[in-house]
A and B are shown apart, each in its own frame.
Chain A
Amino acid sequence: MLKILKKMSLVVALIAFSTGAMAQDTIKMGALATLEGAFAALGEDSLRGVQMALAEFGNSAGGKNIELITGSSDASPDSAIRAARKLVEQDGIQVLVGPLSGSEGLAIKDYAKTQPNVTFLNGSSAAQDTTLRESAENFFRFSTEGAQWMAGLGEYAYNEKGYRTVAVLAEDYSFPYTQVFGFLEPFCRLGGKAPLDARFWVPIGNKDYSSVIAALPDDVDAIYVALGGADAINFLTQYEQAGGDAPLIAGSITVDQSVLGSKGPTRKFVVGTPSAGPISDTWDNPNWNAFVAAYQEQFPDGFPSPSLFAHAYYINTKAALLGLEAVGGDLSDGGAALRAALSALEFDTPTGMVKLDERRNAIADIFLTEVIEGPDGNLVNKTISVTKGVSQTFGLPYEEFLKYGQVSRENPSCE
């Protein structure tokens, strides 16, 4: 007993003291992603984005080497905080990129307020309130959020597709709320309807959609579906088998490559589904094509095309590196100069120009897409239009936008 504890204390003391001295020509950067649990595959892809940005800069910025330290969470806010605390307080990182999912982002934003000398950049988390309400001075989001990702989709569904009434099916947490809000707000402003009793909220990882499918009303023109990964595949398969024939409108991660690449009869069924998001697989643009080619070359065992998670981490990491270049790698002032540089940063990404608003949230281009059958029979998202410079407040003044209220199951009410 005693000896074990003695030895343990020795080890603990050694670890505690050995981290003091560090070479001054190295900047420690942390990357936090979900490498455990349901989103592990997405977490791995997001780190590919970080590595791409670092490789682009030769692992150095402002004349200093960048040392990357990875942290892992399991998508719960608790674990994200623990991992961030370890990176910041134990490993002594000065810049953190992450986390991946919405609720984690809200937690990390709160943690950022307690660490004013560390600069936090978002990973791919896309909950609205991470930057909209009670934002942290040292938290930056160069990737856009869930409501911005829906830009143009509500108008497209109403004007082009001619839908007037939609049912809603989404997972029951902050990110889908944000997406539903982003879609319904313009759709309902134009005169569309989404009755409250035709909105269905399912837990993440739901397997059986038969009760939802049975309860879907017949008198709707389309179903807005915001499900991710396996949930989307399960629903699409079961809806198809149940003989459902209502057209679909999809959230940003509902018809991505992980769903479209799956085998089975759902394939034909989703052709023609409109969606919107921060990337479009098939956008014919030299910058985007170069990005995809670099991804495929650097990670032959990755996805066929970078996911929006890799894209978001790439953009945030690149912003951090550009900021470090601008201040010559000098963080001796606790990163104040770096944060000033980031606030003013405007740069070209694979998906167009990005800059920040006054709450440090990105203003960027959003893609409206539609699922088509590609030349070799696989399903891809065709780019229909690009909405330039989408801001978090849809172009409204901040105070005005706050009147819409927090995103929730019943916002907007759309009656």
Chain B
Amino acid sequence: MSKQRWFSTSWSDTGLHPGIIVVAVFLIAYPWFTSDFFTFQIGAYSLILATIALSLMMLAGYGGMISLAQLTAAGLAGYTVAILGENSVGVMGLGWPWWLTVIIAISFAAIFSSFVGAISVRTEGIYTIMITLAIAVAFFFFVRQNYVIFNGFTGFAGVEPPTLFGIYWRNPTPFYYLTLVIAALSLAAVFYISRSTFGLTLQAIRDNPRRMRSLGFNVPFHRIFAYFLSGIIAGTAGVLLVWFNGRISPGSIGVDVVIDILVIAVVGGLRHPIGPFLGAIAFVLLENFAIDLIDRERFNTVIGLAFLLIVLFSPDGMLGLWHRLRNKFRTARENRMAMNGVNQIDPHSQESFDNP
């Protein structure tokens, strides 16, 4: 198991589906035909939440480890930016250059995530969830009561992204493109990891850790390394999140938000990296517009019901719903073709990650 071979893989079998190109063109053209509100608060915010949920999907989908501390890693990165960079609160705000704070922030998130992994690595299922939830809650209470470094309940405000190349990066369109690039890179990275030697080993460990151990693989180390990688993704999204809000406080990383991230990942679908993105779009649209659909005292019920229905009818989330519909359509078409005497096999119908 030399290090170089860990990530060896080939891209040859990933011919670009025309759908991907259409989606990419749509996402790039998106700011041109929508309002600033849709670009910034729907578009960019969905992408940030999706990237955090993606780091959870990577752990849960490939490693079988549901960590509720991903938002905490992102929050730690956000806090680091506010503490080492500049803020308007008058606590900390050391004024370091932005690139240094960003690098340190993401490193902290990765180290923190590895630490979470090291603690929870020997647990399974519900116990992993409980340990990581405990860490998330502990961090929430810690930052709320620590005034010297984290400025307690108030947290930090006035955190600004840098002005680079004459562009103020919190303007809706530049910020949208920034999040789009980060999200796309993260997505590509997760795809790549999933097909690398490391990713395949991780998936094998998910399916049968005992066998992998007896084959001589270091199971805890692989898992911790997965936490490390997901920490990098979560930390990057955390930096974007603090730039997006311009502020961070304990409320930004509270238990309800932790659960939101889990909801996004589960509702989107945990089996494919695109799932969190679908989940995040649905979540952000509902969060913003449910209050317009129904009486304001009941709109949270609408959000809850929508997610309940999705999970009820498709345990794989929105992604599973889509695959099931597609398969139904395909089977119908194949049946029709068979009846017409066409002896033709659709090569795509043998793709593996479809249905339970």
Contacts and interface: CB of A to CB of B under 8 A. Distances in A.
Contacts of B37: 85-86, 89-90
A12 B251 contact: no
Nearest to A35: B296
A12 B33 CA distance: 10
Interface stretch (A75-83, A141-149, A192-200, A323-331): A75-83
Interface stretch (A3-11, A156-164, A254-262, A381-389): A3-11
Interface string B1-37: 0000000000000000011001100100000011111
A72 B252 CA distance: 16
Interface in B220-272: 245-247, 249, 251-252, 254, 256
- Of A78, A81, A85, A103, most buried by chain B (CB within 10 Å of CB) is A78
Nearest to A104: B251
Given A106-B157, A172-B152, A70 B296 contact: yes
A74 B259 CA distance: 15
A409 B256 CA distance: 28
Nearest to B33: A13
A16 B278 contact: no
B144 A203 contact: yes
B154 A173 contact: yes
B322 interface: yes
Given A12-B42, A16-B33, A74 B256 contact: yes
B275 to A, nearest CB: 11
A86 B256 contact: no
A77 B157 CA distance: 10
Contacts of B36: 89
B35 A8 contact: no
A1 interface: yes
Contacts of A396: none
Interface in A163-201: 172-174
A107 B145 CA distance: 20
Contacts of B34: 12-13, 16
Contact of B251 (A4, A47, A79): A79
B23 A77 contact: no
B221 to A, nearest CB: 35
Contact of B19 (A1, A44, A81, A107): A1
A21 interface: no
A5 B23 contact: yes
A16 B35 contact: yes
B92 to A, nearest CB: 15
Nearest to A202: B145
Given A1-B322, A4-B322, A13-B34, A76 B291 contact: no
A76 B45 CA distance: 17
| Interface of B: prevailing SS | helix
B251 A35 contact: no
B154 A2 contact: no
B299 A72 contact: yes
Given A72-B299, A76-B252, A107-B157, A89 B35 contact: yes
Interface in A106-133: 106-107, 110
A67 interface: no
A56 interface: no
Interface string B197-230: 0000000000000000000000000000000000
A204 B153 contact: yes
A335 interface: no
A140 B37 CA distance: 25
Contact of B297 (A35, A76, A110, A409): A35
B157 A2 contact: no
Nearest to A47: B296
A71 B249 contact: no
B38 interface: yes
Interface string B118-156: 000000000000000000000001001101000011110
Contacts of A13: 33-34
A9 B297 CA distance: 29
Contact of B254 (A47, A71, A76, A85): A76
Interface string B145-175: 1010000111101100000000000000000
Contacts of B196: none
B245 to A, nearest CB: 5
Given A2-B23, A174-B154, A82 B41 contact: yes
A86 B41 contact: yes
Contacts of B26: 5, 9
Contacts of B144: 203
A36 interface: yes
B81 to A, nearest CB: 15
Most buried by B among A77, A81, A85, A174: A77
Contact of A90 (B35, B141, B252, B318): B35
B43 to A, nearest CB: 9
B300 interface: yes
B249 A44 contact: no
B281 interface: yes
A78 B247 contact: yes
Nearest to B241: A78
Interface string B272-301: 001000100100000011011000110110
Contact of A107 (B147, B247, B291, B299): B247
A148 to B, nearest CB: 20
Contacts of B40: 85, 89
Nearest to B155: A77
A365 B274 CA distance: 58
Contacts of B254: 76
A176 to B, nearest CB: 10
Interface in B40-59: 40-42, 45
**In the complex, the 8 A-B pairs of residues with the closest C-beta atoms, listed nearest first:** A76-B251, A2-B19, A89-B37, A173-B153, A90-B37, A70-B296, A16-B34, A78-B245
Given A203-B141, A409-B147, 6 more contacts: A1-B322, A13-B34, A90-B38, A103-B153, A110-B158, A173-B154
Interface of A: 1-2, 4-6, 8-9, 12-13, 15-16, 35-37, 44, 47, 69-72, 74-79, 81-82, 85-86, 89-90, 103, 106-107, 110, 172-174, 203-204, 409
12 contacts: A12-B34, A12-B38, A12-B42, A35-B296, A36-B300, A71-B291, A72-B296, A85-B40, A89-B35, A89-B40, A90-B37, A107-B157
